Chain A
Amino acid sequence: METRQPLIQNANGAVELSNEEISRYSRHLIMPEVALEGQKKLKQARVLTIGAGGLGAPLAMYLAAAGVGTIGVVDFDVVDESNLQRQIIHGTSDVGRPKLKSARETIQDINPNVKVEGFEEQLTSENALDIFRDFDIIVDGTDNFPTRYLVNDACVLLGKPNVYGSIFRFEGQASVFYAEEGPCYRCLYPEPPPPGLVPSCAEGGVLGILPGAIGTIQATETVKLILGIGEPLIGRLLLYDALSMRFREMKLRKNPECPICGENRTIHELIDYEEFCGIPQAQAAEQEDEVPEITVQELREKLNNGGISVLDVREPHEYEVANIGAPLIPLGELPERYQELDRDEPLAVHCKSGARSARAVKLLKDAGFKEVYNVKGGINAWSEEIDPSVPKY
C-alpha cells in the first residue's frame, strides 16, 4: 500500500492500540492503506502546528480525530470575537482566553488519547530549532511573512517537511515544502514582499470557511506523509478558488540558486526574519513621515465646540457596517474629489483603525490642505472609547 517511504518507520512494538482506540479508529482500520500498522504510525507521530488560528483550528482538530499521537501547538494569542467566524477550535465562551488553552480543551474532548504539547510563546529564531527538533512534521498555519520564512528555513536546516497552507479572501494555497525531496518556500518566493504590499486577512478579509478547506488539505498531506501513501504535494502548489470552485495546480522547481536549499547555499543558520521582511525599516519610515494625529477624545471635544469637520475614507460597504455620520470619500477616489472639501477648514480623517486615513492625511497635506488630522485608532477607537453603540468590526 505504501507508495513512498513513510515518515514514521515500522511502529511495531513501540505503540499498541487499546480496545477503545480500535473501536474509535474502526473506519481507518478497515482500509488497507491505513490498517492497524498505519494507525500505530499515526499514534507514534509527532506533528507541530504553528498557530491555532484559521488553518491551525481544522488542522489540529482533524489530526486529533485521526489519532495523531502528539500534537504540538505554538500560539501565544488570545481568542478574540473576530476569530470565531473561522477558528472553529475556539467557541464563544473562549473569548478572552489563551488560544492554546482553548485548543487543548477542544483537542482533548475530540480525542483524549492525543497528547498536546503547548508552546505559549512567539516562534523566534532563538527557539524555533529547539521546538521543531522533536517533531516529525511541521505544519505552517501562521499569518505573517516573517514567521513563514522562519518556519521554512528551520525546516530546511533540520531536514523536516513543512506542510504549507495560506489563505486570502476566497483563495487558498497549499503545498509540501520538503527540501530533501523537492523545492522549499524560498525556491518559490526568494524575496519577501515589503510590508503593506500584500494585504493580510485582517486587512483584506477572508471567507470563514476557506481555512477549513485549506487546513483539511494540510491535515490530509500530513497523514499521507506519516503513512507513506499516495502522492504528496511535494513540488506542487495547489491553488483553490472558492468563488469559481476550482482547483488548479502549479508544478514547482527546486531553485539551484536557492539561498537555503540550493547547492551553494549561503544561509546556514536562522536569521533575523523581521529585518529580512523589512518590518523595522518600514516602522522607521512610518515614523519619519508621521502625520498630525488627533485622539478620539480630542476629536469629541472639538466636535462639541464646533470648528472641525470629519471625513471618512473607508469603502461604502464598510460605511454600511458602522459610521459616525461623516461624509464618505473612499481613499482611492480622494485625489479626484479634493474640490468637495474646504482646504482652509480644519479636517479630521478617519478609517477603520488609522492606516488608510494616515495615507489620506498625507495626500491632503500634499494637496495644500492647511489643517488635517489623522484620527488615531479610527472608528474602532471611537466605538471603544466614545460611543459603544457604534459597532466595532
Chain B
Amino acid sequence: MNGIKILLFGAAADRAGTRETVLPVEEEVALGDLWPVLAGRYPKLAEMQHNLAFAVNGEYARMEDRVSSGDEVAVLPPVSGG
C-alpha cells in the first residue's frame, strides 16, 4: 500500500467527517510531522491535537515515533461518556 492509513475514532471522526483516510507520505516521518498534514486536510481536528492519543500498527505511539508508507495510524480522542 502506498501512503499511511489513518483511522479516526469518536469525536475525531466526527470532526474530520470520515473514519478512514490515506495520507500520501512516501518517506519515513515522525508522527509529529504527519500531524500537520492530517490537520491540514481536516482543519476541525487541529484544536484536538494535545488531547489525542495515537497508535501505530496497534501500539501506542508518541509524536517522536516514526511512521512510514504502509503503516496504520489510529487517532483516539478521549471519551468520557458512561
> Which residues does A use to contact B, with CB under 8 Å?
51, 53-56, 140-145, 148, 165-169, 171-173, 188-189, 191-194, 197-201, 204, 206, 211, 237, 239, 241, 248-253
Give Cα A253 to B76, complex, Å. 15
Please name the residue on chain B nearest to A170 by beta carbon: B10
Are B59's CB and A251's CB within 8 A? yes
Residues of A within 8 A of B74 (CB): 239, 248, 250
B14 → chain A, closest Cβ, in Å?
8
Q: Is the CB of A167 within 8 A of B82?
A: yes
A55 touches B78 (CB 8 A): no
CA distance A167 to B78 in the complex (A): 10
Please give, as numbers and ranges, the residues of chain B lying within 8 Å of A165 by CB-CB distance. Answer: 82
- CB-based contact A143/B80 at 8 Å: yes
Query: DSSP class of A's interface residues: helix, strand, loop or mixed?
Result: mixed
CB distance B81 to A206 under 8 Å? yes
B58 pairs with A251, CB closer than 8 A: yes
5 contacts between A and B (CB under 8 A): A54-B82, A168-B11, A204-B14, A239-B76, A250-B76
CB-nearest residue of chain B to A56: B82
Neighbouring B residues of A241 by C-beta, 8 Å: 9
Q: Is the CB of A54 within 8 A of B81?
A: yes
Is the beta-carbon distance between B79 and A166 smaller than 8 angstroms? Answer: yes
Asked if B48 is an interface residue, CB under 8 A from chain A, the answer is yes
Q: State A51–B81 Cα separation when bound (angstroms).
A: 11
Q: Tell me whether A192 and B82 are in contact (CB under 8 A).
A: no
- Cβ of B77 within 8 Å of any chain A Cβ, yes or no, is yes
Residues of A within 8 A of B76 (CB): 237, 239, 250
